[in-house]
Chain A
Amino acid sequence: MERIVLPEIPNLNQIDVYLQNGGFEAAKKAFSQSPDDIIDQVKKSGLRGRGGAAFSTGLKWSFMPKTTDMPKYLCINGDESEPGSFKDRQIFEYNPFQLIEGVIIACYAIGANTAYLYIRGEYHKWIKLMQQAIDTAYEKGYLGEKMKNTFGVDFYCDLYIHKGAGAYICGEESSLMNSIEGKRGYPRVKPPFPAQKGLWGCPTTINNVETITNVPPIISKGWEWFSKIGAPKHPGTLLFGISGHVNKPGVYELPTGILLTELIYDVAGGVPGNKKIKCVIPGGSSMPPLRGDRLEGVRMDAESLKEAGSAIGTGGVIVMDEDTNLLKVLLRITHFYHHESCGQCTPCREGTGWMEKILKRIDQGNGTSKDLDLLVSVAQNIEGNTICALGDAAAWPVKFMIQRFRDEFEKYVKPQVVIPV
């Protein structure tokens, strides 16, 4: 089974090993072609964003204006703060040069001379590792002005790390841009999209770390090769993170489209104590939870998960066994979104607060069945009415947990006494 972003080569994070294994050959090949050619290949490969929304990468790159007086920027999103996600740190640690190679190819394709790699502040160790790799790349002429010599091309780009400081919202791409600009990390209203008006008003593309790391193999092995791996409408591999009640939690790179049950039982060693599964969140806490008795046949790719009533998100699978108190889990998730809401939109700011308050009340033993309906109603009023997707991310767990596990949640609330008239 081919591993694309985390090849099984020891010490790939050392430059000589990376070079021995074809390092920067893809970049050489890319620089012998036109930027539009590169965009075309990435489009045809079918690569879709690995940051959670699975938007076509080639299509997004094609939105960048070809002729403009303004500088163009690439942002690489390494904020990785979605509960259940711990995949991008693997790339920083084990394959930093492939990420750098992806960055220079992407910059060339979209005409950007400056790239900012936004890494969440808590990742101190991985920031140091990436900075070392970047310094080495500059030294060896794979970044910066020396690129012109190395690749014999009239193009070069700079790559800088921008360190986050503990705000989940800064992973949202427009908030990320405000954060880089030195402002408070408030999301922007879209449209305009970043390719029209991004960093400092200039055309900008934002891509997730894993997305960019897929680019060099697509160029060197060909878009056709990539398009045939995994699920046809969502090709390639994914760095699946699996956590919670499994015997072998961790990150596993596997082709898209594998069965969720295969991931849980074959790859992650099943559930401790052979307990039954009560609930699975398949793509990070922002994605709708699935009932444990409805996992048969569910495949891990964008289209299949949508059909199953959830979404691929970051591929962060969280497994909850039969003894899990779902109320406490939902309360914790809701607290998270209330805590991380930036406060700009009333539905999100107030709504997450209400949902948390009601869930707390239920947790203290003072909830009623009507509260469950109220929670779903509040969630539905947040959905779609906000500037950024955090609103939806907060609403979906509440709505779907209660709708899909109504029987369980009824046990947490006091029965309504109906007095016959």
Chain B
Amino acid sequence: MSFKFTEENLKRIEEERKKYPESLAAVMPAIYIAQEQNGYITNEVMAEIADVLGIDKVDVLGVVTFYTMFHTKPVGKYHIQVCTNVSCMLRGGYEIWEQVKNKLGVDNMGVTPDGKFSIEEVECMGACGYAPMIAVNEDYYENLTKEKVEEILNSLK
């Protein structure tokens, strides 16, 4: 299953590349754009990134595997991230994590059979004063209670 960037995405990558003196530096923006287009990063995706930027595929692999936000397996339509680090833990973060696991019936990095939800236990998200918190894809939900979490999950279509 070969992967090719859309015309528009090729243009976006070129815009990013111009910001750096070397092509290699555009690898992170390129991986983000690829993940937007393909949902997750496969071997074919990495080959295309390497080709477009003129870098080694092994360098792309090295970067993809270093960061937690680059996914090499599909995630759900709604990727739920629950923080359990100290400030959230002190305000019920683990209870929220248990609640989310139980409600959706999956464990860390698991995806529900219908592909709608995946969950991840994450480190501090920079919302400690508004704990406990979760993120759904790119959106933060803060100052949570068990009821609010239930509401949020139920509202996701």
B129 and A184 within 8 A (CB)? no
How many interface residues does A have (CB within 8 Å)? 54
Residues of B within 8 A of A318 (CB): 86-87, 90, 128
Residue from A84, A85, A89, A121 in contact with B67 in the complex, judged by beta carbons closer than 8 Å = A121
- Binding stretch for chain B, among A302-310, A333-341, A346-354, A411-419: A333-341
A333 and B86 within 8 A (CB)? yes
Interface residue A123 (Cβ < 8 Å from any Cβ of B) = yes
B128 and A165 within 8 A (CB)? no
**A-B CB contacts (within 8 Å), total count:** 138
Please report the C-alpha to C-alpha distance between residue A180 and residue B130 in the assembled complex, in whole angstroms: 30
A336 and B87 within 8 A (CB)? no
B138 and A83 within 8 A (CB)? no
- Binding stretch for chain A, among B1-9, B26-34, B146-154: B26-34
Please report the C-alpha to C-alpha distance between residue A160 and residue B29 in the assembled complex, in whole angstroms: 12
Please report the C-alpha to C-alpha distance between residue A331 and residue B44 in the assembled complex, in whole angstroms: 40
Closest CB-CB distance, A121 to chain B, in whole Å?
5
Closest CB-CB distance, A388 to chain B, in whole Å?
15
Given A166-B68, A183-B24, are A120 and B63 also a contact pair (CB < 8 Å)?
no
Using CB atoms, name the residue of chain B closest to A168. B123
Interface residue A124 (Cβ < 8 Å from any Cβ of B) = yes
How many interface residues does B have (CB within 8 Å)? 43
Interface residue A141 (Cβ < 8 Å from any Cβ of B) = no
- Binding stretch for chain B, among A146-154, A245-253, A367-375: A245-253
Residues of B within 8 A of A121 (CB): 67, 69
| Residue among A84, A125, A339 having the largest count of chain B Cβ atoms under 10 Å | A84
Residues of A within 8 A of B144 (CB): none
Using CB atoms, name the residue of chain B closest to A249. B129
Using CB atoms, name the residue of chain A closest to B60. A182
Q: List 20 A-B contacts (CB under 8 A).
A: A122-B125, A125-B138, A163-B29, A163-B32, A164-B67, A165-B32, A165-B68, A167-B66, A181-B25, A182-B25, A185-B66, A242-B129, A244-B86, A244-B128, A250-B130, A318-B87, A318-B128, A332-B89, A333-B86, A340-B123
**Chain B residues at the A interface, C-beta cutoff of 8 Å:** 19-22, 24-29, 31-32, 55, 59, 62-63, 66-70, 81, 84-87, 89-91, 122-131, 135, 138-140
**Chain A residues at the B interface, C-beta cutoff of 8 Å:** 71, 80-86, 88-89, 120-125, 158, 160, 162-168, 179-185, 200, 241-245, 249-251, 281, 285, 316, 318, 320, 324, 328-329, 332-333, 336, 339-340
